[in-house]
Amino acid sequence: MNESDLSMYSFGARIGYQIVIWPIVVIGTFGNLSVLWRVSFGIGINSPLKPMYRGVLLSLALSDLLLLATSGYNTLSGFIHPNILWTLPDWACSVLPCLQTTAALSSSLALAAVAADRYRAIKPTYPPPTGPTWPIVTLLIFFIWGISIGATYPVLKLYATGTLIVLTDVSYYRASLCLTTDRSKAAVTYVAMYVAIFLPLAIAFLSVHLLLALKIWRRRRRGDKLNLATSSESQFTETSTATTSATMTSPVTLRRPMSSPPFAHRNKRTVKVVLALILVFIVCRLPMWTFAVIKLYITLSGRIWWHVQAVVTTLSLFNTAANPFMYAFINEALSTVAWVRSWCTKADDANVTTVNREKMKSNMNSIKVPRGPYSP
């Protein structure tokens, strides 16, 4: 092949993609490592966070780190070089696609488990259920990763490096490309995973979150109606009392301003968060799987499809970087800002306690006991 035919991105496009992807990879790596630290050591054993949610967050952070390490490494190496030649080790051609698919599948399973746990937690039961214990949660995590590894194991044999001769203007050289060994087998494998695993998970994720948003919205509307009735009754009582106690010449009417209860604002915020989760899932996760299936059944030619592949990969990386903020740091028990603030508050409280103790000691030393009338 001619060397010019192997250059799918211009210099400006490669620089632009690197400017976008590098911060995503760095933020996503630090964010998911922070989730691992906060869930494992930062919040303590006696945290109100349920074992089910903590275990699923651990699995989600591990799968996101794996996707960032494999897909980010592969994508950035392709943008650093001016052509699409394979510059990584030969074993990476077969291992990286398998690890990428394993990470994406385990992440989807973890998101479905998070959605089911959230829907179960919002049911009006008293006392609130504690959920599965740590042994069951551990078995669930092994189940998620077992299914992911078992389903993506066939991908390990679908890609291999191929040697080609690259022609330049003055000479030629030998290079490698990462190619599909059996295109039809790869298409059947990815379609089977898409139809049997990912598509049901996507439907379950979207359905559960839509039901969750609808349930919270109905609860908010019910709370608003109750607050409206309470406010109207209070206004009528106060108006009647003011009219009977005032003089006939100057009647006074008192009206209390209506205010929504605090849980109404919290429910409205929760609905927005759930809708944001649905939007990010549709925009960032669905295109990656859909495009992976389409390009195996349809022969795509032209450089525009390489840019589509780059955009889809960037969206999937952005999803892994956004997951720590959407699923972990938004929770008060896992908020890093609240954690740092609590440490600062502890230091301030310790200083205040020391100062108060010193003041109390000095006051006790300066107290003068008065002499009684019969003292000598």
Dist. CA 75–CA 84, nearest whole Å:
10
Tell me the average pLDDT across 201-223.
79
Half-sphere exposure of 117 (CA within 13 A, CB side): 21
| Statement: residue 322 has pLDDT above 60 | yes
What distance lies between CA 356 and its chain's CA centroid? 44
Residue 126 has what DSSP assignment? S
CA triplet 169, 13, 66: central angle to 5 degrees?
110
Half-sphere exposure of 89 (CA within 13 A, CB side): 4
The pTM assigned to this predicted structure is 0.78
Tell me the average pLDDT across 101-112.
91
> Which residues touch 164 (CB under 8 Å, ≥6 apart)?
1, 174, 175, 176, 177
**What domains can be seen in the chain, in order of their start residue?**
3-246+263-334 (1.20.1070.10)
Residue 10 has what DSSP assignment? -
| Statement: residue 239 has pLDDT above 90 | no
CB 66 within 8 A of CB 102: yes
* 339 band by pLDDT with thresholds 50, 70 and 90: low
Helix or strand run (H / E) with residue 337: helix 336-366
Half-sphere exposure of 147 (CA within 13 A, CB side): 17
275 token code pair: 């809708």
pLDDT in tens, 133-184: 889 999 999 999 999 999 999 999 899 999 999 998 888 999 999 988 888 8
248 token code pair: 């006939």
Q: Report cis status (omega within 30 of 0) of the bond before 135.
A: no
| Statement: residue 238 has pLDDT above 60 | no
